[in-house]
Amino acid sequence: MGCVSHAAPSFPAERPFMHILHVALGGCLKAPPVSYGITEDTGGHIAYILGAAMAQARLADVHAVDIVTRAFRAPGLDAVHDRTTEEVAPGCRILRLRTSNHAYLSKEALEAEVPALTLAFLDLLRDMPRRPDVIHAHFADAARLARAAEAEFGIPWIYTPHSLALQKGPDADRLPALRTRIASERAAVAGAGAIIVSSRDEAERQLLPYGADAEGRSHCLAPGVDLAPLSDATAADGLLEPFLRDPSLPILLAVARPVLKKNLIGLIETYAASPVLQGRANLVILAGLRDGIVQGPAEQNHVLRGLFDCVDRHGLWGKVALPPRHDARQLRALYDRAAQGGVFVNPAFHEPFGLTLIEAAQAGVPVVATRNGGPVDIVAQLGHGALVDPQDPAQIAAACLRLMDDPDRAARARMAQVRALAVFDWGDWAERSVALCRTLGQPAARP
């Protein structure tokens, strides 16, 4: 059957203005700019939530959009995360829930805090002069709060999984560490009024193990991206010069959190195994934000040590850049540099969607991506790029070289850029999501 694609219907002029509330508990969620990668849970889902909420707030028929997350304070993290309210944009704000635990918590550690967060969330809703018409829960922990709000106040809710535990491997449901999360995901899929996903792969394959009716209640809404404008093409020069012997070469660019599933070590192994690729391009990997390679969580430290060890073992110093920090302006400059003869690479073992692929395409960069997950849809929609087996280094290298050597490279990249800008647009996402919200029933009863 596939996922349902919703057009944005015309509503009568007297339609009520909507109040939409997003819930996302993990990571460092704040108003832009966001330091993506500053923790292992501060990734693409935060860009999605902010982009979605701000786009909805710009619609004439939306009264307000709130984003509920968790308050915390921690050394090295912005003090704004301990602020109860933060303005994001006109009509859009962040509200933070407080419990007795003030520490930053990883996704796994959040599980124990969900009951207290649920009580805090119900109190927040109880005190609102106007409760939201719909709740959009991001991840299964947020869905538990949404279910409680539906039971208490009758507020309908939507679920976006972003990443599902059953995609972590064939034995995921047998791992004690994942059982609670999988059970929460099953409950979220079963209980949501609708499920919003970004790709057909999510709807038709990733959600299928969670229930026979999940696919039919899934709605594919292509998200947008908020790519920073190119203000200074040289902004990233200082990031690369300490690492690269010949910075004038094109670059193979990868941007991902330093976690095992992103296969960044495998990308360096691919580069090391291809002398031709080494002679043609430098490899640049933005693996989050770091202060050394031992201060972070265990998995992050393991991956960072592996990256440096791999470069050292293969004698790749001078050809590989691993900058410790970057900002949006520097990332935009790196996309521009990759567009000049280079390639963007996503070698993840599995990628639920792949927002950075869209960013790269919108900047005019050809993409090589894993064949596992959402990139299958993205590359098809772009009409340009290559899908590869992430465990086949020769295939990855060959795809990079093929795109670099394509005589029609510039024209194909421009075509993909135009398509990326047209298909992946937050304004369109917002119109379609609000249309879906209006199908979930009448606005919640007012106090």
CATH number, position 329: 3.40.50.2000
Is residue 134 predicted with pLDDT exceeding 50? yes
Q: What is the mean pLDDT of residues 378-397?
A: 97
Provide the b/e sequence for 320-331 (b: ≥16 CB within 10 Å): bbbbeebbbbbb
Within-domain flag for 39: yes
Q: Are residues 158 and 286 in the same domain?
A: no
Q: Are residues 357 and 367 in contact, defined by beta-carbon separation less than 8 angstroms?
A: yes
Number of domains in the chain: 2
**Based on the domain organization, do 120 and 265 belong to the same domain?**
no
pLDDT of residue 173: 67
Per-residue confidence (pLDDT) for residue 316, from 0 to 100 = 98
Q: Provide the pLDDT confidence category of residue 11 given band limits of 50, 70 and 90.
A: very low
Residues 257 and 349 in one domain: yes
The number of beta carbons lying within 10 Å of the beta carbon of residue 402 is: 14
126 confidence band (pLDDT: 50, 70, 90): very high
Phi, psi of 123 (to 5 degrees): -65, -40
Q: Domain containing 209: what range?
A: 18-224+425-440
Selected residue with higher pLDDT from 16 and 325: 325
Residue 233 token pair: 């093409």
Residue 314 and residue 184 in one domain: no
In a domain, 333, yes or no: yes
| 201-215, 234-248, 415-429: least confident range | 201-215
**So what's the pLDDT on residue 40?**
87
What band does 424 get if pLDDT is binned at 50, 70 and 90? very high
pLDDT tens-digit profile of 145-161?
Answer: 999 999 999 999 999 99
Mark whether 397 and 296 lie in a shared domain.
yes
Q: Domain check: are 392 and 404 in the same one?
A: yes
Task: Provide the 3-class DSSP secondary structure of residue 215.
Answer: helix
| Bridge partner residues of 93 (DSSP) | 66, 87
Q: Which percentage of the chain shows pLDDT scores above 90?
A: 77
pLDDT at 350 over 90: yes
pLDDT score for 333:
96
The per-residue pLDDT for 209 is 87
Checking if the pLDDT of 288 tops 50, the result is yes
Q: How confident is the model at residue 12, as a pLDDT?
A: 37
* Residue 3: band (very low, low, confident or very high) from pLDDT cuts 50, 70, 90: low
- Does residue 163 have a pLDDT over 80? yes
pLDDT in tens, 252-262: 999 999 999 99
Retrieve residue 145's tokens.
Answer: 């709060």
Dist. CA 261–CA 290, nearest whole Å: 18
Average pLDDT over every residue of 91-120: 96
Using the structure block, give the residue that is written with the tokens 């933005």: 286
Residues 168 and 201 in one domain: yes
Interval 126-153 mean pLDDT:
97
Q: Is the pTM of this model over 0.95?
A: no
Q: Average of pLDDT values for 163-171?
A: 75
- Using an 8 Å Cβ cutoff, are 233 and 434 in contact? no
Q: Please check whether residues 163 and 305 belong to one and the same domain.
A: no
Q: Determine the Cα–Cα distance for residues 154 and 213; give it in Å rounded to an integer.
A: 22
pLDDT, position 266: 98
**Do residues 210 and 189 make contact, with C-beta atoms less than 8 angstroms apart?**
yes
pLDDT tens figures, 42-93 = 999 999 999 999 999 999 999 999 999 999 999 989 999 999 999 999 999 9
Token couple for 118: 């649920």
Q: Calculate mean pLDDT across residues 407-435.
A: 97
- Examine the pLDDT at 202 and tell me if it is beyond 60: yes
In a domain? residue 27: yes
200 with 3: CB under 8 angstroms? yes
Query: Which one is predicted more confidently, 346 or 296?
Result: 346
Indicate if the pLDDT at residue 41 is higher than 70: yes
pLDDT band, residue 14 (cuts 50/70/90): very low
Q: What's the CA gap between 358 and 365, in Å, rounded?
A: 9
Residue scoring higher pLDDT (6 or 243): 243
Task: Based on the fold, state whether residues 419 and 350 are members of the same structural domain.
Answer: yes
Report if residue 2 sits inside a domain.
no
User: Would you say residue 313 lies in a domain?
Assistant: yes
pLDDT-derived band of residue 441, with 50, 70 and 90 as boundaries?
low
6 belongs to a structural domain:
no
Residue 370 domain-assigned (yes or no) = yes
What is the spatial distance between Cα 67 and Cα 49, in angstroms, rounded to a whole number?
8
In this prediction, residue 219 carries a pLDDT of 95
Same domain, 241 and 216: no
Q: Is the predicted pLDDT of residue 364 greater than 50, yes or no?
A: yes
Provide the mean pLDDT of the chain: 91
Q: Are residues 214 and 260 in the same domain?
A: no
Together in a domain, 177 and 52: yes
In a domain? residue 10: no
Judged on CB neighbours under 10 Å (0-12, 13-18, 19+), 314 is middle
